[in-house]
Each structure stands twice: as structure tokens, then as C-alpha cells.
Chain A
Amino acid sequence: MRILSQIFFFGLFAYLFSKTHFTGQDYISPVERYFHFDPLLGLVTSIAGRVFFASFALAGITVALTVLLGRVACGWVCPLGGVHQFFSFIFKKAKLHRPKSASAGPLKLKYYILIFILAAALLGLDLAGYADPLSFLYRSFAVSIFPVLAGAASALIGLLYKLKLTGLGGTIGQFFESLSLNSTFQQGFFIGLVFLAAALLNLVRERFWCRVLCPAGALLGLLSLGNVFKLKINTQKCIDCGLCNLQCQTQASPFPDEEWKGHECVYCFTCGAVCPTAAIGFPAWKRAPRREPRVSLERRKLIWTPIAALLVAPFFRLTPAGKRPSASLIRPPGARPEPQFLSKCIKCGECLKACPTNGLQPVLVEAGPEGLWTPKLVPLLGYCEYYCSLCSQVCPSGAIQELRIEDKIKVKIGTAWVNKNHCLPYALGKPCIVCEEHCPTSPKAIKLVETQVRLPDGTVSTQKAPVVDYELCIGCGICENKCPVVDSPAIYCTSIGEQRSETNRLLLELLKTDSGPY
């Protein structure tokens, strides 16, 4: 029953994940809805971004559910919880992991992580995305796991063609082409390793992530006040074997029942299932006397954690990223001004998955430490498709403002520059015009001018050569992407002139209208 529920919600997650691409419609349904049920993301994004994003009202449902019933969301709904439980199950079956009794100390770590994240949020630092289970899972799937599957599928198709099974290869190939899977990600390997590490932690303890690390679980633990269904052990049946404590997936210590930790229990009912005498039940409204306080944290750590967070915020901003815009940090169209963007982006990877050209990539260093895994456009890998605003539609936290297509095509995200030293007409006196041909605006932002070049043999070649009109260029990067100089394109985009920024500007508006000298 529970497993069915987990499979269902994981399936739902995977379904919405697979729907996050160009489906033939300019506007797609809210495939990012999952995130809005996450109170941690809602809370942190609201605190850090200083504004409540209305969609996160849905998190209230999760909160209400948790207050009433305890952490059922962790045990029955959370797709990452399901994934961890699946790995735990596999490891146990393969005899790689044997549950053993463990100290309850590390369980508290997740509460400190939560407090740390919340305190950092007060300073506008959005750390939730790194540790939130939904963000973590989505990002790992988008950047690593799906690309791996796509690579495997591609290898299979290649094999079918090698075996001359062109019909079958063609059919499967057409299917994959239609999905427009993004398969190339900077840091794909690295983010995959992080996911692998999280999965391997299940070797140390069952559902290690959920027990020790998950700040969303910690928040739900703090909220689990009511717990209508409380664990009750039938003392007549109980034979004190201790199996329930050993097998409990989240170390909620079911035995003795007055020490049961309601805030750790995810209602997986493993204890009831392993009990040899079926002594364990969860009757409603039965009050058991409790010795264990709800969540007991040490006062000293409770004080030091937020202080540490206060210091960490400036630590995260020790880079020049905030002082000077980075040339290669081209944010997706609709992205808020950088400080707001950073405080709202939950690094979930929705936009990376939705981008039809695979141009949106996770940032490593350009935006400073707090910008790790936020999106940027890398025109070398993919350009910003002119009539597409999918990234802005799927952003769950409003870091990228939702745009209509007719508005999106006017948003300037950067500017193209010609490198005459590399450009075929300018440097080699050869015809080209590929950038101009691809420029999607009308009139084109790339104009051609007749240019004379002296060739090595002394003769003069006259060619049409590209010149960028700064006013018309929107910085989509298709020119850079299609430039035949593939290693270091002769036309390239930088972030300057991006509309969202008041500082990363170049030409003054007033110069345009001002005709006289003074």
C-alpha cells in the first residue's frame, strides 16, 4: 500500500519531469507544481526573496497534513524518500547493508541544517535548493540521470543501425528525437556523483538522507504536532525482541512506545510488518504517555547554528561576483535582477530540463558560491530559442518571471560581439554570413557591411562582414552557436546590456534622444 503510494508519487514526479520540454505548444501546463507543495522551499524562498510567491500556498496542504498526521509526506509521497528507500531495500537484499542499532545523535543534524538554512535565508541567501529533496532529485535527474539514460538509448539506437535493424532503430530514434532530451551538461558528471554519494549513504544507514540530512523532513518533524495516529505496542503480545527498533527506517525507536519519536516517524509501518507477534499498531487518538520530548536540541548548538549561518552568508559572498557582472553569466529571459534572482532560485533544474536547445547550464563559479547550479545560457552549447519561454514558465519559485512569447522576444539577455580576428570575412577574406542568416530578429540585429581585407599574398578581398546593432540584439546567442569557427566563435555573446540589470548596461538611453551638444 505504502509502496504503491510511493511508486505512484515517484511516477507522478517522473511523468511531470518527462513533460518538461517543448511539447508542440508555446505554453505548457504547470509541470513544476510538485515544488509548490514543499513547505521548506516556500518558507526559505519567501524569507530570502522577501516576498511570498502565491503558488507556494499549496505547501499549506502539506503543512496541514503533517500537523494532523505526522510525517506521512516523507514516507508516502516524497519521491526522493522513495528513491532512498528503494536503494536501502536493494542494499539490504544484496546483503550489502545490515541494519544495526545506532546512536540517535546524528538524527538531530537535520534540525541544525534546517535552522542554518532558515537563518541564512534571513540574509537573503537561498540554500534550500542544495538540500531540499525535490530540488535535489530533480536536478540530479535533469543534469545526470536522464542524460545517462539518453546516452544509453542513443548507443542502443546506434547498435540497431549497426545490426541493420534500420526500421526498429528508426522508430526508437524518432521517439527520442521527439522528446528533445538534453544530454549535455557541464558538471553532469559532478552532480551525478553527488547523487550517487547520497544513494550510497543508504549503505551506512537505511534512508540516511531522510534520517540525518533532510531539512524538509526536519521542518515537517517540527510541524508534526498532532500525529492523530500514534504508535501503540500491545504489551501483552510484545516479546521484547527489539526487531522494530532495529528495522525502523528512520530510527524513530518504536519500542518502548512511550519513547517513540513521532517527529521522526514517517509512517512506513515497517515496525508493524517486522513484528513477529503483530503487537504494533497505530490507533487513532490514543494518547501514550511520552517521555521523549518532541524535538530536543541542545541549547548551545541552537544558538551557535544561526550565528554560524550569519557568518556564512558573507562567506558565501566573498567573491567579486556581486561587485561586477560576469561576462559569461547570461541569465535566462525573465530572470529577475541578480540579487533577487539568487535569493529565489532553488537550483531545481526545471529550466535546464525545459530548455529546448540544451543551452541552459548549471553555473559553477560565475555567480559566486551562492549561485552554484543556478542557470546560465551557454551559447556554445545551445542558443535561446526565439519563440520559446519555457524556462520562465516552469520556474517554480518565480526566480524567472513567467513571460508570454510576445514579451519574451523583446527581452534582451545579453549582447553579441564580433571578434574580427577570428571572423572569416574579416580575418581570412572568405564569404560566410552564417551569423546574419541565423539572427532571428526582424530587422536583423546583425548587419552586413562590405569590408576589404588584405590577404597574405597581398591581394585585396571584398566581403560582406557582420556588424552588430546593439539596439536590436537580444543576446540569444544563436550567432555564436552557429558560427563556423567552432572552437572560439568569431561572434559571441556576453551579458552586458541585459535588460534585468541596472548596472550591467552600456549605451545610455538619453544619448539616443539628445541631439544637441548640451
Chain B
Amino acid sequence: MKRREFLRDVAIGSLVLNLGTKQSLFGQAAQPPDLAWVEGDSPAAITRAAVDLLGGMKRFVRRGDKVCLKPNIGWDRTPELAACTNPEVVKTLVELCLAAGAKEVIVTDNSTNQANRTFLRSGIQAAAKEAGAKVLLPSPFRMKKMALGGEWLKDWEVYLDVSEADKIINVPIAKHHSLARVTLGMKNWLGAVGGARNQLHQKLDQAEVDLARFFKPTLTVLDAYRMLVRNGPQGGRLSDTKLQKTVVAGVDYVAVEAAGATLFGIKPEELPFIKLAADRKAGRLDLEKLKIEKRTV
């Protein structure tokens, strides 16, 4: 057996096992939906409602877990410009994780602009700390090259503070992007790696999928409270954003991705990275066949 095949099999195998345990977990209760899709005026309330619809944070976080929340804190922009994840969404998730018994909640991102600027101006540092999270500035000492077992990305520098957590929760924001068209959850993993990330754009779709399959988030909470609809990925003017007041959450990150695409009026299968992820059985993009709970709070 070739090394590549072995790694792929291990990846698929572990994914299957992973899914297996989850099913047995909520087997006794009523089947939670595949996706929770909540709209409302308060970012905190819709986030809380979305997690509740999925069965509550206790379903994802066990007592004593070290949880890493990975929002997008990439840009030196204030929250209303929708370049970074909404701080209220992050804060609510920190609270939910701690309430579910998490030992420690880490909030971090290997940002694009200067981290101590983006962490501050995005409002995420203050919000997460207030809720009791440990906010870590990315450090070159925490990047380590390791095998990813991806189809295209064999190995890359991984941000250890993310990869070493017991549970990883992806908290991306829905944004326009001129190469990928839109960026949602899978693109957010580029902020959980180091190295020459700008070279990943040469095969961005493959990189996104390989990274998503490596990090395997326990939960994905897509922030579309205010989405960035043009001039992405950092916008710059209020007119570049659109108030969507929505949060979509789910265990199947491909399904979340597919739902996110529709927010931009794009069919999921039109986006190569979603198609690729579904083809590799990372999740499902056939929204019409999924159980989706929609709520307005």
C-alpha cells in the first residue's frame, strides 16, 4: 500500500468512526437537524438558538475539553465592515462552551494584518476575553510542519494551538472573494496554518478541502449576520456589506458551506471547493435532502 493511500484510508476511516460515535451520542434523543438556520436581530441570540437547535453545546463539548474557536480575525477592520467574524457570535460560543463544561476555550487566528491590531479592532479579543476565553496571538513558535494527509497538500505548517485542541469549532464569516467567489468555513482554515500561505491560492479549492479534512471541526457556525458582498475579503466601506442577520450551524461543514453559498445566491455545486469536498465524501451539498431547521428569534 502506498503512503498516500494509507493516509487517505486513515483519514476516511477516522471520519467514519467519528460520525459513528456522534450518531450513537444522539441516538436516544430526537434526531437533531443537519443544519440550524436562524435569523434575528441579535447576533448572540441567533447563535445561541442555532446551537440549541442542534442539540445544545453539551452534544459537542465534554466536561474538561480544551476547545479551540477559530473565528476569522484576519483583517484590521472594525465589526461593522464585516471582514472579521462578529464578536458577539464568538462571545456567545465561548459562553456556551464554558457552560458545557469546557476546561479551556482558546480563541485565535493566524491573521493577515498585524495580529495585535486585528484582534483589537475586530472586537473579538475583548469580547472573547470578557466571556472567559484565552485569546492567543499567533506565534511563529507555534507553527509546526506536519503531515496533513491531503490529496494535494501533503504537509504544511500547522498552527498547534488550533490542532492540539480536543474540539475545534469553526466560526467563519460569509464573505465575497474574487478568486473563490465566496469564502465560508473551509477557507477559514488558511488562518489555522502558517508557512507561505499565499502560495496556497494556486490551488485554493484543493487546499481548502485538504485543510478542512485535516482539522475536522466538531461544529461549524457560519456568521452571516453582516456579510461582505463585494470588495472582499476585507471590504472597507459599509456599502460593501449586507445585513443578513443569519447564522447557519451544523456538524457537516460541507452542508454549512452549501447553505452559505445560497446566501449569496449561488448554487452550491457551482462552487468548486464545495463540489470537491462533497465528491471526497467530506459532507453533503444536497440541501434539499438535508434536514434543515429554520427559525427566527
Contact = CB atoms under 8 A, between A and B. Distances in A.
Contact of B231 (A170, A356, A433, A443): A443
Given A437-B177, A438-B112, A442-B236, A356 B198 contact: no
A357 B199 CA distance: 21
Contacts of B202: 424, 430-432, 484
A455 to B, nearest CB: 14
A76 B116 CA distance: 37
B145 interface: no
Interface string B196-217: 1011011110000000000000
Contacts of A387: 76, 117, 121
B147 interface: no
Given A24-B116, A443-B231, A178 B137 contact: yes
B141 A386 contact: no
B237 interface: yes
B76 A431 contact: no
Interface string B84-121: 00000000000000000000000000001111110011
B233 A442 contact: no
Contacts of B198: 432, 434, 482-484
Interface in A265-309: none
A405 B233 CA distance: 21
Given A161-B141, A442-B237, A444-B231, A431 B114 contact: no
Contacts of B113: 385
Interface residues of A, number: 38
Interface string A425-446: 0000011111011101111100
A178 to B, nearest CB: 6
Contacts of A161: 141
Interface string A483-516: 1101000000000000000000000000000000
A157 B202 CA distance: 34
A156 to B, nearest CB: 11
Contacts of A170: 136, 139, 142
Contact of B236 (A433, A441, A464): A441
Given A441-B236, A484-B199, A385 B76 contact: yes
B24 interface: no
Given A431-B204, A442-B237, A174 B199 contact: no
B28 interface: no
Q: Is the interface of A mostly helix, strand, loop or mixed?
A: loop
B178 interface: yes
Contacts of A442: 231, 235-237, 240
A158 B234 CA distance: 33
Nearest to A434: B198
Nearest to A409: B236
A433 B76 contact: no
Given A178-B116, A438-B112, A173 B139 contact: yes
A484 B117 contact: no
A424 B200 CA distance: 12
B136 A174 contact: yes
A418 to B, nearest CB: 16
B141 A169 contact: yes
A186 interface: no
Contacts of B115: 177
Contact of B120 (A24, A433, A436): A24
B201 A434 contact: yes
A180 interface: yes
Contacts of B112: 438, 482
A211 B177 CA distance: 63
B179 interface: yes
Interface of A: 22, 24, 157-158, 161, 169-170, 173-174, 177-178, 180, 356-357, 385-388, 424, 430-434, 436-438, 440-444, 448, 464, 482-484, 486
11 contacts: A22-B116, A157-B141, A177-B115, A356-B117, A385-B76, A433-B178, A433-B201, A438-B234, A441-B236, A464-B179, A482-B198
Closest 6 CB pairs of A and B: A442-B236, A177-B137, A484-B198, A434-B198, A433-B179, A442-B237
Given A170-B136, A170-B142, A180-B116, 16 more contacts: A22-B114, A22-B117, A157-B139, A174-B136, A174-B137, A177-B138, A385-B76, A424-B202, A431-B204, A432-B198, A438-B112, A438-B234, A442-B240, A464-B178, A482-B198, A486-B196
